[in-house]
Structure 1
């Protein structure tokens, strides 16, 4: 019979820094004090290294172990260079093709299985309510609950057919907030009937698709529980999720080290409250001190009677069921990772998810298009003075097709950008300016500068990477394309459309007006 110390340990999922497991993680695994390992981009170098990391952890573990990762595709993917990149949820929604969504999920799941990773924190079932939402956007399929439900169920089928446990998130919905839970606790107010009509259906359909796990979000729903966020709320976890919706599978949390949790609760107390609410596996992704505090607090709460032993046994049974179902007894060969067939599928899906919002006279671009300039807004902080050696991904792809184009990648957060002589020189002398934005609707400096570029261009093509709301926030472009994400396949699909290789047929899944 498993001792209590190990039962509590099997409920803990932890992360660590580095590309190989540190000594304390191997020790916890050997003593049964950890049930899952949460992998991030900082743990990843290449496929062979990831597989070795997983095997090292698995060999050290006293009990079967779960390996979890955020690999939604699109703008959230921990595996990039050396792995298959794919379009994300909104691009799949724009395709209108559930079978394509299932195929892409199966592709991603197959690559995870080849690495030994048996748990994916996807798909996203949040409804895209708020253009101002900083953390959902193109991670959502869209604003129509029926379409979201179809695509979510399709992705679950694909992941789990590949042998990887799917996790639908972020219950009971993260789409109707304007606060990032990484930064603070978000609160949702509003009538329950709207919540049941819009937010609940995709989660209900995920359960009907036999999803292995539901991930809770650190959002407080006033109409459901005015005192506690969903992660810690018995009303939401036990009464709503398990009781009213009848869900019998595993429940995990979003990372308990987000500021939405740490600003109001210590690591130990938050873990105890989560388990009391009905959570099976709280996730502590980064800090050893907090991971130890969570384990010690839950163990002490059981010993003191604050948490009944039966509550631990319930969680252990659900966790063990995931391990049984997704044990990866015969994983695919590592050669499947980033194979030609997967690249071809990602290309097809990215094209299907690209939307031609406005078609003017600028397309296609080619040798007879005159002088073409490209302004690409960076997704990360780089200097306005960065030259050709540090071009952005889109610019690099465009230059492969149009070698004479003049490209400039800028960070709109830098104050000197607005007065950049390089930018003014590019746009003033160009016959066509290709402008790629990344969530300008959320960044006033980028929005102002992007509009200025359009206004001063002889002819502008606007490519909206990431959220499509930029297409409604910016005016005057001759042609407007939305990629619904900026993974490499989506950026390549935009370039192919600009050069006339195909005409995008994807449909917007949110209102951009």
Structure 2
């Protein structure tokens, strides 16, 4: 029989630094101070190392724990080198193939299960309403709510059939903001009927498909609760999500250390308020002091009666149900990670998600052309997005087209480009969200003015095509994961004809 302190601990999910669990994490697991952990790229070195880290955490706890991760594929993937990479949501939207989306999710889910990770913070169910949204972009399937719903529910099936709990996020929809919740509090105003018809549709569909978890966002929705972000809103969590939509699974927050919350109120108060709103699993990703403050505050509130013990028990029942359902009893062996079959799935998905917006003459006779290839270096537009492999595109291009003269460009480097770079027939120019980064856009425009012919590869948001319409050829990969960048090179070399269709509106 658990005491109140242990009950509160089971609700707490925390992150930590390092490639091994720190001593305090193991102590918290032994004593029941936390219900599980979740991993970031900072915790990852290799498949065997991650498997060992997770095993140490599980061995320390005298109870089943949740181990979570953000492995969306594409822009947000904590597991990259040595692991299979999915092309990301917008590429799956461009492919318009739910069965393929389910295959990709199953691939990622099996690898997580082999590592001992039983909870994925994916898929993203947000709709791409705003092209200038810094935290959604290619993490969204696209603009059409029905397409988003089809691809999202397919991914839920893929993850959960592989033995890993899926999470639809960011409820009730993060697509209509232009502020990154990692750095500030966003507010959405608009008619409720639009929210219900558009943003809530993918969540409704996922709930109907028995998704394990829903993750909340730190955004204020004026027409629902003008005083509280969704994470702290009983109206949104209990009345809307549980009452109107009938969701009976686990509800988690996005990280409570994001500035949208942490710059408004302290960790202790925010943890208490989110539990009172109806949340089961508050997430604190980074700071030991905040993790301790959250636990202590919720425990004190439960002891004083501010949070009824019955409210805690409701959460424990949902958490326990998720742990039992996703116990990884039939997890595959580690050898499945980045196996040939998975690499083939990723390759097929990335190719299917590649779209040729404009097919100019530059693609003809490319191997006989004098080529210069320029790739803009990765820049983060959101703290949610970790840097992807910097040189995948140019390295792979150099192997396929060794005659190409390859260079990485840095948007804030204002030194003039050598005239010799433009003494060529064709420039292949890869951009990454130039529409959000004025320095990159200005440099790209200058290159296009000087080059004879340009093949533009939009490696993240396809909106770059709007800003650089004079390119002779325009290719959109809808992401810059390793498979997507390799698909771009393969398309340029004529290995396949891109058949993806833009899942957002441009022009």
TM-score over 0.5 for the pair = yes
Deviation at 1:353, TM superposition (A): 0.2
Match for residue 18 of structure 1? 18
Pick aligned residue for 1:442 from 436, 439, 457: 436
Match for residue 392 of structure 1? 391
Match for residue 386 of structure 1? none
Distance between the aligned counterparts of 2:199 and 2:367, measured in 1? 49
Offset from partner CA, 1:23-51 (integer Å, 9 cap, x none): 10000000011111010000000000000
Q: TM-score, normalised to structure 2's length?
A: 0.97
Offset from partner CA, 1:346-387 (integer Å, 9 cap, x none): 000000000000001111454312x10011000049xxxxxx
Please tell me whether the aligned partners of residues 71 and 122 of structure 2 are also in contact (alpha carbons under 8 angstroms). yes
Indicate yes or no: 2:479 matched with 1:480: no
Please tell me whether the aligned partners of residues 29 and 36 of structure 2 are also in contact (alpha carbons under 8 angstroms). no
Please tell me whether the aligned partners of residues 365 and 498 of structure 1 are also in contact (alpha carbons under 8 angstroms). no
Please tell me whether the aligned partners of residues 84 and 108 of structure 1 are also in contact (alpha carbons under 8 angstroms). yes
* 1:49-60 matched pairs, under 5 angstroms: 49-60=49-60
Secondary structure of the structure 2 residue equivalent to 1:327: coil
Secondary structure of the structure 1 residue equivalent to 2:474: strand
Secondary structure of the structure 1 residue equivalent to 2:123: coil
Distance between the aligned counterparts of 2:364 and 2:84, measured in 1? 28
Deviation at 1:98, TM superposition (A): 0.2
Offset from partner CA, 1:38-81 (integer Å, 9 cap, x none): 10000000000000000000000021011000000011100000
Indicate yes or no: 2:380 matched with 1:376: no
Kindly tell me: are residues 277 and 454 of structure 1, through their superposed partners in 2, closer, same or farther at Cα, counting changes over 3 Å?
Answer: same
Match for residue 383 of structure 2? none
Offset from partner CA, 1:376-433 (integer Å, 9 cap, x none): 000049xxxxxxxx9722111110111111111111023x2xx3334x431x211000
Match for residue 454 of structure 1? 448
Offset from partner CA, 1:177-203 (integer Å, 9 cap, x none): 000000000110111111111101000
Please tell me whether the aligned partners of residues 497 and 504 of structure 1 are also in contact (alpha carbons under 8 angstroms). yes
Distance between the aligned counterparts of 2:391 and 2:307, measured in 1? 52
Match for residue 282 of structure 2? 282
Distance between the aligned counterparts of 1:115 and 1:393, measured in 2? 25
* 1:220-235 matched pairs, under 5 angstroms: 220-235=220-235
* 1:163-178 matched pairs, under 5 angstroms: 163-178=163-178
Distance between the aligned counterparts of 2:143 and 2:409, measured in 1? 31
Match for residue 420 of structure 1? 416
Please tell me whether the aligned partners of residues 466 and 506 of structure 2 are also in contact (alpha carbons under 8 angstroms). yes
Match for residue 250 of structure 2? 250
Kindly tell me: are residues 266 and 391 of structure 1, through their superposed partners in 2, closer, same or farther at Cα, counting changes over 3 Å?
Answer: closer
5+ unaligned residues in a row in structure 1: which ranges? 382-389
Match for residue 193 of structure 1? 193
Indicate yes or no: 2:82 matched with 1:82: yes
Deviation at 1:112, TM superposition (A): 0.3
Match for residue 41 of structure 1? 41
Secondary structure of the structure 2 residue equivalent to 1:92: helix
Match for residue 315 of structure 1? 315
Distance between the aligned counterparts of 2:198 and 2:253, measured in 1? 22
Distance between the aligned counterparts of 1:346 and 1:335, measured in 2? 17
Secondary structure of the structure 2 residue equivalent to 1:190: coil
Distance between the aligned counterparts of 1:420 and 1:314, measured in 2? 63
Please tell me whether the aligned partners of residues 217 and 253 of structure 2 are also in contact (alpha carbons under 8 angstroms). yes
Distance between the aligned counterparts of 2:365 and 2:310, measured in 1? 66
Please tell me whether the aligned partners of residues 181 and 260 of structure 2 are also in contact (alpha carbons under 8 angstroms). yes
Please tell me whether the aligned partners of residues 218 and 261 of structure 1 are also in contact (alpha carbons under 8 angstroms). yes
Please tell me whether the aligned partners of residues 377 and 390 of structure 2 are also in contact (alpha carbons under 8 angstroms). no
Secondary structure of the structure 2 residue equivalent to 1:207: helix
Indicate yes or no: 2:340 matched with 1:344: no
Distance between the aligned counterparts of 1:105 and 1:452, measured in 2? 40
Please tell me whether the aligned partners of residues 47 and 82 of structure 1 are also in contact (alpha carbons under 8 angstroms). yes
Please tell me whether the aligned partners of residues 261 and 270 of structure 1 are also in contact (alpha carbons under 8 angstroms). yes
Q: TM-score, normalised to structure 1's length?
A: 0.96
Match for residue 498 of structure 1? 492
Please tell me whether the aligned partners of residues 366 and 402 of structure 1 are also in contact (alpha carbons under 8 angstroms). no
Secondary structure of the structure 2 residue equivalent to 1:446: helix
Kindly tell me: are residues 391 and 309 of structure 1, through their superposed partners in 2, closer, same or farther at Cα, counting changes over 3 Å?
Answer: closer
5+ unaligned residues in a row in structure 2: which ranges? 381-388
Please tell me whether the aligned partners of residues 364 and 500 of structure 1 are also in contact (alpha carbons under 8 angstroms). no
Deviation at 1:162, TM superposition (A): 0.2
